[in-house]
Amino acid sequence: MSYFEQSKIKFEKLKDKEKVLILAFESSCDETSVAVVENGRKILSNIVATQIPIHTRFGGVVPEVASRNHILAISNVTREALLQAGVDLVDIDAIAVTYGAGLIGALLVGVNFAKSLAYANNLPLIGVSHIEGHIAANYLTYPELVPPYMCLLTSGGHTAILEVEDYNKRNMVGSTIDDAVGECFDKVARVLDLGYPGGPKIDKLARLGKPGITFCKTPLRGTYNFSFSGMKTAVINYVHNLEQKGIEINKADIACSFQEEVTDELVTKAISATLEKRLDKLVVAGGVSANSRLQEKLKDVCSKNNINLFIPELSLCTDNAAMIGSAAYFMAKKGEGLSETSLTAKSVVKI
Ligand code: KG4
Ligand code: ZN
């Protein structure tokens, strides 16, 4: 029997198996992460080897450098994940891996490593979309959370409002027509010379400033779509204008005003979509869900509107493999996501 035929039989059995252990891989950007997840809800280990210090000196992620460092890290991170979980490869039921979206070279490292491991150990391989993973981070934080719900996806590469009908099944309600919100945080931080990654730096600095400067002169109204691309230019123009006049810029006020504007836009549209679709749960996903001001505003507005709010615990907001293992579990239970060895990395995936 071929590898794929054997993995198909094992994959089918997962539907009824009581305890499913998934070894998951995530390497879409600048974190090499490997995790062991039990039944989609329990993290046995979640090792994240970050490359942030390596890319900091370049002011952002250098794709080629990221790929090379994933190669250097992935074997040891895998060993550590198994060790910390107290399991061996023979205990694993399936292997999951992010196949996209992300940096193609970085993704290829995880995909090829996972494929080889699956093939060598006769295990089913489950290709997972990074977006599905970010959403699933909430299943790890909240064992009681089940679809349907509204989801505000706010990552470095994607921004959207999604109506989640079931695990791995969603409808797009709105999305950004240009930049993602995380990308916008990073770009504005760069203009202000705050360093990389920009989101957490703006979050911290904004606490020292006051709001009041308007950067987005023409916000999109009457739609659930977002537009963030003008923000960077607006901040540059604002800074240059003051510099030309010899006025000292107040970075904290700029960070605070920018953050207020962006989070207002996210919160208003996410809440309004949740209410319009008569849903009582709002789930937040992606790196920007770590933003303290966004969390504060969402908590306030959700409690006023009787909406239950779900935000992943801080360590699961940004990229990690446990969220991929969780997403893979729920896909497997529905009989979805079994990949062949032809699985390849994709820089763009359907939201
Ligand atoms: O979801 P993620 O880890 O990567 C992608 O899938 O793209 O998100 C990373 C993004 C970066 O743009 C980073 O600046 C942003 O999330 N981020 C934040 C915060 N922490 C991370 N943005 C705003 N405030 C934060 N505290
Ligand atoms: Zn991500």
Measuring CA to CA, how many Å separate 286 from each of 81, 278, 350? Answer: 23, 23, 16
Enclosing H/E stretch for 170:
strand 169-175
- Do 257 and 209 meet the contact criterion of CB atoms below 8 Å apart? yes
Q: Output the pLDDT for position 239.
A: 93
Q: Output the pLDDT for position 216.
A: 85
Mean pLDDT of the region 171-184:
96
Q: Which ligand is nearest to the CA of 199?
A: 1
Query: Do the strands 281-285 and 149-154 form a parallel or antiparallel pair, or are they unpaired?
Result: parallel
Mean pLDDT of the region 42-69:
95
Cα distance between residue 318 and residue 78, in whole Å: 19
Measuring CA to CA, how many Å separate 243 from each of 161, 237, 341? Answer: 38, 10, 56
* 220-267 confidence digits (pLDDT tens): 999 999 999 999 899 999 999 999 999 999 999 999 999 999 999 999
The tokens of 204 are what?
């911290």
Report how far Cα 190 is from the mean position of its chain's Cα atoms: 21
Give the residue, by CA position, lying nearest to ligand 1 atom 14: 199
Backbone φ/ψ region at 59: left (φ over 0), alpha (ψ -120 to 50), beta: left
Q: Output the pLDDT for position 161.
A: 98
Residues ≥6 apart with Cβ < 8 Å to 303 = 309
Q: Is the pLDDT of residue 217 over 80?
A: no
Q: Output the pLDDT for position 219.
A: 82
The tokens of 163 are what?
């109506």
**Residue 32 in contact with ligand 1 by CB distance below 6 A:** no
**Residue 38 in contact with ligand 1 by CB distance below 6 A:** no
Please, what's the b/e burial string for 43-67 (b: 16 or more CB within 10 A of its CB; e: otherwise)?
bbbbbbbebeeebeeeeebbeebbb
**Residue 133 in contact with ligand 1 by CB distance below 6 A:** no
Q: Ligand 1: which atom is nearest the Cα of residue 28?
A: 6
348: three-class secondary structure by DSSP: coil
Q: Ligand 1: which atom is nearest the Cα of residue 286?
A: 1
The alpha carbon of 201 and the centre of ligand 2 are apart by a number of angstroms equal to 18
Q: How confident is the model at residue 8 (pLDDT cuts 50, 70, 90)?
A: very high
The alpha carbon of 130 and the centre of ligand 2 are apart by a number of angstroms equal to 6
Q: Ligand 1: which atom is nearest the Cα of residue 189?
A: 14
* 283-341 confidence digits (pLDDT tens): 999 999 999 999 999 999 999 999 999 999 999 999 999 999 999 999 999 999 999 99
Neighbours of 145 (CB within 10 A): 16
* 108-167 confidence digits (pLDDT tens): 999 999 999 999 999 999 999 999 999 999 999 999 999 999 999 999 999 999 999 999
The alpha carbon of 289 and the centre of ligand 2 are apart by a number of angstroms equal to 11
- Give the CB-side neighbour count of residue 281, counting CA atoms within 13 A: 16
Sequence letter at residue 307: I
Mean pLDDT of the chain: 97
- Do 35 and 43 meet the contact criterion of CB atoms below 8 Å apart? yes
Q: Ligand 1: which atom is nearest the Cα of residue 197?
A: 14
The alpha carbon of 243 and the centre of ligand 1 are apart by a number of angstroms equal to 29
The alpha carbon of 151 and the centre of ligand 1 are apart by a number of angstroms equal to 16
Q: Output the pLDDT for position 303.
A: 98
Give the residue, by CA position, lying nearest to ligand 1 atom 10: 156
Q: Output the pLDDT for position 218.
A: 78
pTM of the predicted protein model: 0.97
Cα distance between residue 155 and residue 152, in whole Å: 10
Q: Which ligand is nearest to the CA of 291?
A: 1
Residues ≥6 apart with Cβ < 8 Å to 324 = 24, 25, 26, 35, 96, 97, 98, 128, 130, 133, 136
